[in-house]
Amino acid sequence: NRTQPKLGDLIEISRFGYEHWAIYVGNGYVVHLAPPSEVAGAGVSSIMSIVAERAIVKKELLSVVAGGDKYRINNKHDDKYDPLPLNKIVKEAEKMVGKEVPYSLTSDNCEHFVNALRYGVSRSDQVCPQPVSPSL
């Protein structure tokens, strides 16, 4: 039994080997970064999400993005930063849908993206556990 997310909530999805992040925009939908190679609704970890240099902002059902993976609401920086007004968070997220944006595991990942939308601060606590082989 999962708690229903509220507008602007950050959603942390546990993938194999990393966490994927999305922001809740209402009616069961989230906005998130997806590498261009990721098929909508794949719901599985993709090495492309780690090595891609570009990502597409997508709006999809949370149930589709999470697939069979566990997820939770995690507004973990609310104690450090004041969230922006909810209508602004949702409006900005919706404006980004369909855009292609730079993607980097260390400086422009899905966690940076959702934190910038919620707090106006781009940050990620996620660390790549081991280097990704360039041959992949």
- Predicted local confidence at residue 108, as pLDDT: 67
Question: Is 4 inside any structural domain?
Answer: no
> How long is the chain?
136
- Residues designated catalytic: 20, 32, 110
pLDDT tens digits in sequence order for the chain, 136 residues long: 467 999 999 999 998 778 899 999 999 999 999 865 554 444 444 544 555 578 899 999 999 999 999 999 999 999 999 999 999 999 999 999 999 888 776 666 788 889 999 999 865 555 433 333 344 3
- Predicted local confidence at residue 135, as pLDDT: 40
21 vs 61: CA distance, rounded Å = 13
Question: Is 53 inside any structural domain?
Answer: yes
> In a 3-state reduction of DSSP, which class is residue 104?
strand
16 vs 51: CA distance, rounded Å = 15
State the pTM of this model: 0.78
| CATH code for the domain in which residue 61 is found | 3.90.1720.10
| DSSP codes, 40-102 | TT--S--THHHH-SEEEEEEEEHHHHHTTS-EEE--TTTTTSPPPPHHHHHHHHHHHTT-EEE
Inter-axis angle of helices 110-119 and 86-96, to 10 degrees? 140
Question: Is 18 inside any structural domain?
Answer: yes
Structural domain including 67 reads: 10-119
Q: Which is nearest to 69 in space by CA: 116, 22, 20, 1? A: 20
Task: Count up the domains in the chain and report the number.
Answer: 1
Question: Is 131 inside any structural domain?
Answer: no
